[in-house]
Chain A
Amino acid sequence: DVVMTQSPLSLPVTLGQPASISCRSSQSLAYSDGNTYLNWFQQRPGQSPRRLIYKVSNRDSGVPDRFSGSGSGTDFTLKISRVEAEDVGVYYCMQGTHWPPFTFGQGTRLEIK
């Protein structure tokens, strides 16, 4: 199974400051069709997960443009350009290239300093 490793696991951020979450996979997530199936999810306290980014860098509808995804191969990053209070929650990366099973990272808890 592909192991997804996120860092940091806890991320205190000052409002208005940028934030960055790293996600590394144990094998390349590049697929033979030319796509890389790496998604990012946000789970706010007490809520269901919500997909933010699919295939590395594509924002879902309604996701603010302060969220961006980048990376290739085994190294991926989710960036928030200016953190707002509503961004508090846990962020997960998930790979869908080598499945089954689909695998998630451990989660990164973003909090406001």
Chain B
Amino acid sequence: EVQLVESGGGLVQPGGSLRLSCAASGFIFSSSWMTWVRQAPGKGLAWVANIKQDGSEKYYVDSVKGRFTISRDNAKDSLYLQMNSLRAEDTAVYYCARDRSGTDWGQGTLVTVSS
């Protein structure tokens, strides 16, 4: 059974940083693209970033370029999202998802950016 478990969310002040993690199991992590998607409170889904199997390619939505960094550790079956210079509009539940097409999703972790 595929499992994706996100962690690392919390309350942070504007301008602060957080690092999200996603622990994967039940599939060959090193063979899968991985994706981060977010959902602001009461809003729809928004793609944030994805990363190729070996980490050689990374793509971001324009609104997070230069502030967020996606990475992975295939030895630990883990995906990460380093979020710097956080803004109020980054407040959302952040989901990790398997593949570029969202085959499986985690339960999400809530990031709240507020003073």
Q: Which residues of A contact B (CB under 8 A)?
A: 37, 39, 41, 43, 48-51, 54, 60, 90, 92, 94, 96, 99-107
Contact = CB atoms under 8 A, between A and B. Distances in A.
Given A100-B60, A100-B61, A41 B102 contact: yes
B44 interface: yes
Interface residues of B, number: 21
Nearest to B97: A49
Given A48-B106, A48-B107, A99 B44 contact: no
B101 A104 contact: no
A49 B37 CA distance: 10
Contact of B95 (A39, A48, A90): A48
Most B C-beta atoms less than 10 A away, residue of A90, A94, A105: A94
B107 A104 contact: no
Contact of B46 (A43, A60, A104): A104
Contacts of A54: 101, 103
Contacts of A101: 47, 59, 61-62
